[in-house]
Amino acid sequence: MQALAGALKRSPVLTNTIVYGTLYVSAEFGQQMFSRYTSEELKPGEQHPPIDTGALARFGVMGTCVLPHTLYQAYKRLDAWYPGNSGPMALRKLAIDAFIITPFNLTLFYIGMSAMERKEDLLAEWKAKLIPTFITASCFWVPANFLNFKVLPPHMRVVFVGGCQIIWVSILCWFKKQEF
């Protein structure tokens, strides 16, 4: 853990990108494996469908090239605008995260994934899923980010969020596979 903390202080963007991206792809892989082994029983001679490497690649792009950078910059600015971790400061950061950063990142996720999937209507999935995903995100991220803003030092925030992503991306993968 000390090595990670040291790397975060020396090269925060690179370290956050590697850790966040790895966790993001791992969550999608875990979701695929879970779905694979909890779906309908195979008939004799049938095999499980192959791992969706295209989905892993798309989650890899989102998890390394997009989301860790928006989070890093957002949290850096929040810490500059609202220094400290007192209760009132944590609540200000939490409100901005919940009502500005989260909808922005969900928008990047749904529209970015639709673009990478070459969907004709890039906004269709976003329109259908943004509100239910946002409500679920609020239930999950508000308590997690209160701890993040109240307890953790700034250089550990994106990695903490990345750790929470294992759970959150599994939820997001579920939303992504749903038809609304």
In whole angstroms, give the CA distance from residue 33 to residue 52: 10
Residue 4: per-residue pLDDT: 62
Residue 10: per-residue pLDDT: 79
Does residue 173 register a pLDDT over 80? no
Residue 85: per-residue pLDDT: 85
Q: What are the tens digits of pLDDT across the range 50-97?
A: 899 999 999 999 999 999 999 889 989 998 999 988 989 989 999 999
What average pLDDT does the segment 113-127 reach? 97
Q: What are the tens digits of pLDDT across the range 17-51?
A: 888 889 889 888 988 888 887 777 777 888 888 89
Q: What are the tens digits of pLDDT across the range 125-172?
A: 999 999 999 999 999 999 998 998 888 888 787 778 777 878 888 888
Closest CA to 133 of 100, 157, 164, 110: 110
Q: Which residues of 76-105 are buried (b: 16+ CB within 10 A; e: fewer)?
A: eebbeebeebeeebbeebbebbbeebbeeb
Burial class (CB in 10 A: 0-12, 13-18, 19+), 19: buried
pLDDT band at 1 (very low <50, low <70, confident <90, very high): low
